[in-house]
């Protein structure tokens, strides 16, 4: 069954989609720095991330200096387990490939 999952790559890319396995979000050359589940919090205009990947574990936010967020989520707060994700810098990327 497809589930709303995300991964964080060691290069800082947040990859989001509805997939069977977290690994389905990896692109060639990606190395995963953890993952979990996502949902849209419309009331707070936030992308709410939670949980952890069975295969890759909890996302390693502190190891990322720049977080690359899909363009579709521009203007939304990014939270993990109810707290805002804090990184040094955020950038947006074209997310037309999202699963």
Domain count, the chain: 1
Domain for residue 50, yes or no? yes
Domain for residue 83, yes or no? yes
Look up the domain containing 35 and give its range: 3-93
C-alpha dihedral sign at 63, 94, 25, 20: positive
**Whole-angstrom distance, CA of residue 41 vs CA of residue 38:** 10
How much is the CA Rg of the chain, to the nearest whole Å?
A: 12
**Residue given tokens 């939304």 in the structure block:** 76
- Bridge partners of residue 57, in order along the sequence: 53
CATH no. for residue 19?
A: 3.50.20
Residue pair 12/92 in contact (Cβ under 8 Å)? The answer is: no
How does pLDDT run along the chain (99 residues), one tens digit per residue?
A: 999 999 999 999 999 999 999 999 999 999 999 999 999 999 999 999 999 999 999 999 999 999 999 999 999 999 999 999 988 899 999 876 555
């Amino acid at each position: 069954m497809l589930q709303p999952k995300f991964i964080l790559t060691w290069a800082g890319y947040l990859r989001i989609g509805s997939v069977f396995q977290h690994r389905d979000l990896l692109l060639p050359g990606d190395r995963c720095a953890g993952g979990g589940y996502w949902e849209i919090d419309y009331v707070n205009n936030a992308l709410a991330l939670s949980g952890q990947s069975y295969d890759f574990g909890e996302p390693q936010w502190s190891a990322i200096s720049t977080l690359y967020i899909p363009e579709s989520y521009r203007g939304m707060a990014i939270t993990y387990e109810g707290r805002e994700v804090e990184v040094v810098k955020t950038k947006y990327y074209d997310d037309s490939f999202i699963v």
